[in-house]
Amino acid sequence: MKVKELWKFKYNAPILGIEVADINGNGQIEIIAYTKSGILLFISLDGELLCKEIISKDSPLWHLKIYDIDDDGRNELILGGMDGIVRIFKCNLTYNLELLWTHKCNSSISGILIEDINNDNLNELIIFSLDKTLRVLNPSNRQLVWGQVFEDGVGDANVFLKDKNSDKKEILACGNDGTIRIFDGTDGKLLWFKRFPNKLRCLTLLNSINSPLILCGGDDRNLHCLEKKTQNEINTIEFDDIVWKCLSYPYPILNKAIISSYSFNYFNNPIATEKINFSSKIICLNELLEVSWEIVGINLESLKVVENSNEFFVIVGFTKGEILIIEEHTGNILYEKNHESCTNMIQILKKKGFLFSCHDNGKIYAHKMKEISFF
């Protein structure tokens, strides 16, 4: 596969994530990057810095969502970070930000989702935090729709349909307390509860050939496959490292999943990260819970599954700085590049065939894909 590097951008702090959107209604797509130092960067598709704003000085920004939450035809920026504050901004044509409102949690924000969770034709903000709470907010009046409290921080959450014959939605969430909980999207009622002895870090829903399954994993280094209806564990897949990410696809069929494990061996290790031999891996599961393929020796940081004309490609970034494009049905590696600094996030702009990556060394790379059908 032919891939051309278009440009690289350098900032003086680790760039933790990027989004790509028209943020101010000027008809131009911008790259919006957020940093470990709490700075927001606006960058053109040519790699030019347009503007930068201090959001949470010297406090990392973990999450950014771009969405028109007030239905005025212009996108808003929804930001969350280590300081526990969710901030919602409007951006004008000169990239100046207007703070619309904030919401304070008592610890770091673990994740932000945007979904019409109660089928009232309005999108709600779903916020989960290390302060042990999961909160659903109405962005119009800024009021709490409902909330739930765990015994420890909430690590992961996703929204799914109750079943294939219903339009009702549920939130699946897992926590550092080792619990999985399912909440009714309308009122937050607890519908389902199961506890494990160790911290859970990720979960997803997989529609197997027989029944819906909940896949979850964490610090016990096992992927647990549970029947949603009975809570019975029908299969367990062992890993050498903690289970880190679970992603099911394609929506709404959800009959396949990518699972990754993660090693913290490089933390405080005198050996340079690029010289460490990781035991962590990624696997692809089918609807029979069979491993279609696996790639061993890579520590995953960023994961995307991209579809075009019923073909799927898995695009991943790793701790050592590698980026891979993988043919989903075979596991064949179509493209590999090492940028020699942890790849924190990958984003795709499909209509232009661009792939962007951001890294711990403060760099953003832009690439043009020459030969890949989904572009």
Q: Please report, in tens digits, the pLDDT of each residue of the chain (375 residues total).
A: 788 999 999 999 999 999 999 999 999 999 999 999 999 999 999 999 999 999 999 999 999 999 999 888 899 999 999 999 999 999 999 999 999 999 999 999 999 999 999 999 999 999 999 999 999 999 988 999 999 999 999 999 999 998 877 889 999 999 999 999 999 999 999 999 999 999 999 999 999 999 999 999 999 999 999 999 999 999 999 999 999 999 999 998 999 999 999 999 898 888 889 899 999 999 999 999 999 999 999 999 999 999 877 889 999 999 999 999 999 999 999 999 999 999 999 999 988 999 999 999 999 999 998 755 444
Q: Are 252 and 161 in contact (CB under 8 A)?
A: yes
pLDDT of 70 reads 86
Torsion of CA 154, 256, 118, 217, to 10 degrees: -20
60 in a structural domain:
no
pLDDT of 175 reads 94
79 in a structural domain:
no
Q: What is the extent of the structural domain holding 123?
A: 3-12+113-369
Q: Are 248 and 268 in contact (CB under 8 A)?
A: no
- The Cα–Cα gap between 64 and 34 comes to 8
pLDDT of 140 reads 86
pLDDT of 374 reads 46
**For residue 18, what are the β-bridge partners?**
33
Q: What is the H or E stretch that residue 174 is in? A: strand 169-175
Centroid of chain to Cα 301: 10
Which amino acid, 332? N
What CATH number is given to the structural domain containing 174?
A: 2.130.10.10
274 in a structural domain:
yes
Which 3 state secondary structure label does DSSP give 186? coil
pLDDT of 372 reads 52
Question: Which has the closest alpha carbon to 146: 135, 159, 133?
Answer: 135
204-to-36, 77, 225, 258 alpha-carbon distances in Å? 28, 26, 10, 10
96 in a structural domain:
no
- The Cα–Cα gap between 202 and 157 comes to 8
120 Cβ contact partners less than 8 Å away, ≥ 6 residues apart? none
Question: Which has the closest alpha carbon to 60: 98, 93, 24, 14?
Answer: 14
Give the number of domains in the chain: 1
pLDDT of 325 reads 95
Pairing of strands 300-308, 311-318: antiparallel
37 in a structural domain:
no
200-to-85, 92, 121, 215, 353 alpha-carbon distances in Å? 24, 41, 32, 11, 36
202 in a structural domain:
yes
The pTM for the full model equals 0.94
pLDDT of 50 reads 98
